[in-house]
Amino acid sequence: MRILVVGSGGREHALCWKLASSPLCDALYCAPGNAGIADVATCVPVAATDLDGIVALAKKERIDFVVVGPEDPLCLGLVDRLEAAGISAFGPSKEAARLEGSKGFTKDLTQRAGIPTAAYKRFTDADDARAYIRAQGAPIVVKADGLAAGKGVVVAATVDEALAAIDDIMGRKRFGASGAEVVVEEFLDGDEASLFALCDGKTALLLGVAQDHKRAYDNDKGPNTGGMGAYGPTPILDDAQAQKAVKTFVDPVLKMMAAEGRPFTGILFVGLMVGRNGPQLVEYNVRFGDPECEVLMMRLKSDLLPALIAARDGELDQVDLRWHPEPAMTVIMAAKGYPDAPEKGSEIRNLDAAGKEEGVVVFHAGTKADGNRILANGGRVLAVTAIGKDLREARDRAYRAVDLIDWPEGFCRRDIAARAFR
């Protein structure tokens, strides 16, 4: 089979790395990819959101199966466009991707389906939102309805902070049309966990749970990011609890989405807050998490490709995946200045030595090649990933590899997975 992966981050490198090892895969392309992905796939400079360009590329290279990594092309309808052109594609349709693309849509659906989540209200009028915030008091959470590159959520410790978020999102239109509507919701306390289920429209298959680290600096300090590191499995939601969570947070959604004429196919990423009253839904995403995907791919023993094809074909009930029992973890190395203003263009040295450490794979998240040199080309730049007989070994291996990488212009958190050792 000829495969095309869409995207350019650490998630897509991990997917390409796994798919390249499939005996079913004859040719692997990635658009646009990065310098690390180029080791396992042919990278083609077409942007993930250039739907015409991706469809044309898939036709030109006679692609049999497309795997879409990020949410933006999914929400724009890339899978619909590919399928309409006769090309099989893995991921939700535009209608099904609304589970990530509209927070208001999703909150309403959780109510209809009886899914435990924070109490909320939707607003298109800023004054109404302000009045509700004043009446509720803080802490309180304000969310832009649409996609905002992970920046559309303000967890406000005070009423003033929440009101400022309304000014920012609805007044100054910081996220454009994505902020024409907001969701204001109850603050949830607890530990966050990311649960992943492979879905074929009716059946869900648990892929596992990982814990991300959203803040930029150690001890959960600093600004929110796309994720600075992850590990899995996690004691925050063990296997039995995860199986139960699939019944509570995934099965009812699949049923409802199918009944409403937009069956969900693809990866359902369930963001959970695990507190005193058990897990509650924070959000759904319609794709693998990044960097959670790096951890999952490292632990997956089975061939990924037939499972994705079965999901696309509605035959997941015939699939059984096997996993390495060993835990894995990944440490993000980001360019200094990330997330606000990462410096681009600095050289990264000694990647080969780091990649030779036992149990280690260095996934690239934002790099480009310049002759033989590898340059930083994004905020999150590397995802240094390791597997070990226990989490301690995985952690030691990952940080040993991090320490081998010669890149003074980068930084990372030193406390990834620390919660699991508490």
Site for ligand AMP, rule CB under 6 A: 118, 141, 153, 155, 185-188, 192, 214, 271, 282-283
* CA–CA–CA angle 147, 152, 380 (5° rounding): 85
* Complex with ligand AMP: residue 121 or 336, whichever CB lies closer: 121
Q: Whole-number minimum distance, CB 158 to ligand AMP, in Å?
A: 15
Distances (CA, A) of 96 to 146, 228, 252, 312: 14, 28, 14, 13
Of these partners, ligand GLY, ligand AMP, none, which one is at the site of residue 118 (CB under 5 to 8 Å by kind)?
ligand AMP
* CA–CA–CA angle 51, 254, 300 (5° rounding): 75
Q: Whole-number minimum distance, CB 322 to ligand AMP, in Å?
A: 30
x/- binding map, residues 119-158, to ligand GLY, per CB under 6 A?
-------------------------------x--------
Residue 330: phi and psi, rounded to 5, are -135, 140
* Complex with ligand GLY: residue 104 or 227, whichever CB lies closer: 227
Can you tell me the distance from the alpha carbon of 157 to that of 258, in angstroms, rounded to the nearest whole number? 38
* Complex with ligand AMP: residue 118 or 405, whichever CB lies closer: 118
The size of the interface with ligand GLY (CB under 6 A), counted in residues, is 8
Candidates 94, 87, 76; CA nearest to 29 is 87
- 7 touches ligand GLY (CB under 6 A): no
Candidates 218, 224, 230; CA nearest to 413 is 218
Among 145, 185, 292, 357, binds ligand GLY (CB under 6 A): 292
Residue nearest to ligand GLY (CB): 227
Can you tell me the distance from the alpha carbon of 230 to that of 43, in angstroms, rounded to the nearest whole number? 26
CA 415 to chain centre: 20
Residue 205: phi and psi, rounded to 5, are -120, 120
Contacts of 52 (CB under 8 A, 6+ apart): none
Q: Whole-number minimum distance, CB 290 to ligand GLY, in Å?
A: 5
For 353, the enclosing helix (H) or strand (E) is helix 351-355
* Complex with ligand AMP: residue 153 or 258, whichever CB lies closer: 153
Please choose, out of 288-296, 317-325, 326-334, 367-375, the segment that lies near ligand GLY by the rule CB under 6 A. Answer: 288-296
Of these partners, ligand AMP, ligand GLY, none, which one is at the site of residue 217 (CB under 5 to 8 Å by kind)?
none
Chain positions 202 to 231 lying near ligand GLY, rule: CB under 6 A, are 212, 226-227
Can you tell me the distance from the alpha carbon of 112 to that of 343, in angstroms, rounded to the nearest whole number? 45
Can you tell me the distance from the alpha carbon of 206 to that of 341, in angstroms, rounded to the nearest whole number? 37
Can you tell me the distance from the alpha carbon of 195 to that of 271, in angstroms, rounded to the nearest whole number? 7
Of these partners, ligand GLY, ligand AMP, none, which one is at the site of residue 141 (CB under 5 to 8 Å by kind)?
ligand AMP
Can you tell me the distance from the alpha carbon of 361 to that of 363, in angstroms, rounded to the nearest whole number? 6
- Are 42 and 25 contacting, i.e. CB atoms less than 8 angstroms apart? no
Q: Whole-number minimum distance, CB 195 to ligand GLY, in Å?
A: 12
Of these partners, ligand AMP, ligand GLY, none, which one is at the site of residue 282 (CB under 5 to 8 Å by kind)?
ligand AMP
* Complex with ligand GLY: residue 85 or 149, whichever CB lies closer: 149
Torsion, CA 175, CA 180, CA 184, CA 185, rounded to 10: -70
Residue 82: phi and psi, rounded to 5, are -65, -45
* Complex with ligand GLY: residue 9 or 129, whichever CB lies closer: 9
* Complex with ligand AMP: residue 74 or 282, whichever CB lies closer: 282
Of these partners, ligand AMP, ligand GLY, none, which one is at the site of residue 79 (CB under 5 to 8 Å by kind)?
none
- Are 102 and 95 contacting, i.e. CB atoms less than 8 angstroms apart? no
Q: Whole-number minimum distance, CB 352 to ligand GLY, in Å?
A: 27
Q: Which stretches of the chain bind ligand GLY, using CB under 6 A?
A: 150, 212, 226-227, 285, 289-290, 292
